[in-house]
Amino acid sequence: MTYKAPVKDMLFNMQHLAHLDQVAQMPGFEDAGLETAQAVLEECAKLNEDVVSPLNWEGDKYPSSFHDGKVTTTPGFKQAFRQYAEGGWQGLQHPVDFGGQGLPKTIGAACGEILNSANLSFALCPLLTDGAIEALLTAGTDEQKAVYLPKMISGEWTGTMNLTEPQAGSDLSLVRSRAEPQPDGSYKIFGTKIFITYGEHDMAENIVHLVLARVTGAPEGVKGISLFICPKFMVNADGSLGARNDVHCVSIEHKMGIKASPTAVLQYGDHGGAIGYLVGEENRGLEYMFIMMNAARYAVGVQGISVAERAYQKAVQYARDRVQSRPVDGSLNTAAPIIHHPDVKRMLMTMRALTEGCRAMASVAAAAYDAAHNHPDAEARKQNQAFYEFMVPLVKGYSTEMSLEVTSLGVQVHGGMGFIEETGAAQYYRDAKILTIYEGTTAIQANDLVGRKTARDGGQGAKALAKQIETTEAELLSSGSAHAQAMLKRLKAAREAFVDTVEFIAGQAKADPNAIYAGSVNYLMLAGNLMAGWQMARALLVAERELAAGNDAAFMQAKVTTARFYADHILTRVPGLRDAIVEGAPGVTEMALEAF
């Protein structure tokens, strides 16, 4: 099945919801208007539809392999990665000073969606490299930036993040890898890191590992962790590659999904110590790694949207082709394609509405990121930063949980054939599962949303968002159309449920933390559902105006219908989630541990 990038929907979001025209007025983004966005997205679509997408199924059948310490990627990956790098795609949203194109995240994130839809396993290599670039841009010395960034931004070298160890998964206070200071200012690194995405591969000349480790004598816990650059090959003074560093892949994992992406176990220091260079200051490693993690968390949310889009397209194609049973309304007196059946349409509409809602939410969040970093006004930067930080756990948590629902429905639309690997529907379902786990599980995103983003300021930031949603409600009220009134009813009920929940969290956070965290994932799902639904409400208003002006009737009508579906079938989940959070804690907390 061929993948077709949803460029029109992306441009609609950028123009009408993310207000790319305003982003393009910010310093450094003057050339990044809608015309540029369209040209970039169309080029990106071409490469991914023609070159990267055909390798997706191949990667599932012929995963990366490990032999004698070397990893060989799926046939075709190496060549495709060269085309990706030579096209300048790795540097799309990185600074011009180091050879990037300096485009806003609003455009870059859409290109990220296209790449991930084409091939989730392939896209993980650039995704991790982006995170490593962000960390070095923030905390690296001028010399480190000069040595590593141009080669990483050009795609000649790739990057990794090395956090996890066998005993230290989500709890990084348990990191035991150690770093011993050397007389020349470098460090020797010793330890084992697991789950390292593209920790070893054959697609680039060098791999720049960013590694968390403890300097000898550092404090216990997260306060004693430092961050190090540890390249696979040492870099000579003239920029050429030198000796092999003492970091080696000892195995790769056999996984449920994303099989083509090599997930490596890396051993540091088996032959005298891997040479590493401190990034920033000692004992501030976690702070710097969070920069990578935040970049990666947003990107993983986009992966959820990507795989959902791919599953939706495949399901629609199958539903058009598969003939089975007469339509229930008697409109045809012979068996018809299953897309005629109301329940199949319900499944397809659920897939479509969830995907479009999350795409709109991610696009608006990306524009906030751009404003937080580039807006000339300090107050505007601060407000956009707060908005973006609230949205990151939602983009990551809600969009990835959504992708499981959508890819599961994709299998269901195929019926029995969906359970057969050869149709390809099952691959999306298997690939999607990791998205709710890596870069912080859904529960970790939910804990962040509850603790840092809601309880810490007494719910003030969350309530400010609710006020913004009320503005959209007022616009829906004055629209007067039946679809706008239906959306108003559902959006208002969802916002009120959200405010109730925020007050419960703010009021009970200290008094009864178990009750709050028992409902944390439900709160994340409630908030994500509402924020995506809010963007669909805004999209509905825009589409109605465009229809009235006679613009692109088929696309705009479909947008109105999708938004209406979101209102009646997805936003309606929110009040039930509110009840589970505010009233449902005893059912979670009261069971005796020995009764499990």
Residue-wise pLDDT tens digits, 35-67:
999 999 999 999 999 999 999 999 999 999 999
Q: Are 41 and 111 in contact (CB under 8 A)?
A: yes
The closest alpha carbon to 259, from 331, 178, 197, belongs to: 197
Q: Are 272 and 368 in contact (CB under 8 A)?
A: no
Pairing of strands 206-215, 178-181: parallel
Confidence of residue 480 (pLDDT cuts 50, 70, 90): confident
Mean pLDDT of 219-233: 96
What digits encode the pLDDT tens for the residues 289-339? 888 888 899 999 999 999 999 999 999 999 999 999 999 999 989 999 999
Which residue in 113, 439, 544, 546 is the catalytic one? Answer: 439
Mean pLDDT of 4-9: 98
- The CA-based diameter of the chain, rounded to the nearest angstrom, is 85
Residues whose CB is less than 8 angstroms from the CB of residue 507 and which lie 6 or more positions away in sequence, other chains included: none
Question: Residues 120, 403: contact at Cβ < 8 Å?
Answer: no
Is 439 a residue of the active site? yes
Give the per-residue pLDDT at 293. 86
Query: What Å distances lie between residue 150 and 2, 85, 96, 201, CA to CA?
Result: 34, 12, 10, 20
> Residue 76 — very low, low, confident or very high, per pLDDT cuts 50/70/90?
very high
Distances (CA, A) of 584 to 141, 375, 478, 497, 516: 50, 43, 37, 14, 10
**More confident of the two residues 402 and 1:** 402
Q: What is the pLDDT of residue 290?
A: 85
Q: Are 212 and 177 in contact (CB under 8 A)?
A: yes
Residue 344 token pair: 């199949």
pLDDT per position as a tens digit, 143-199 = 999 999 999 999 999 999 999 999 999 899 999 999 999 999 999 999 999 999 999
Provide the CB-side half-sphere exposure for 518 (13 A, CA): 20
Cα–Cα distance measured from residue 44 to residue 283, given in angstroms and rounded to the nearest whole number: 40
Confidence bin at 136 (pLDDT 50/70/90): very high
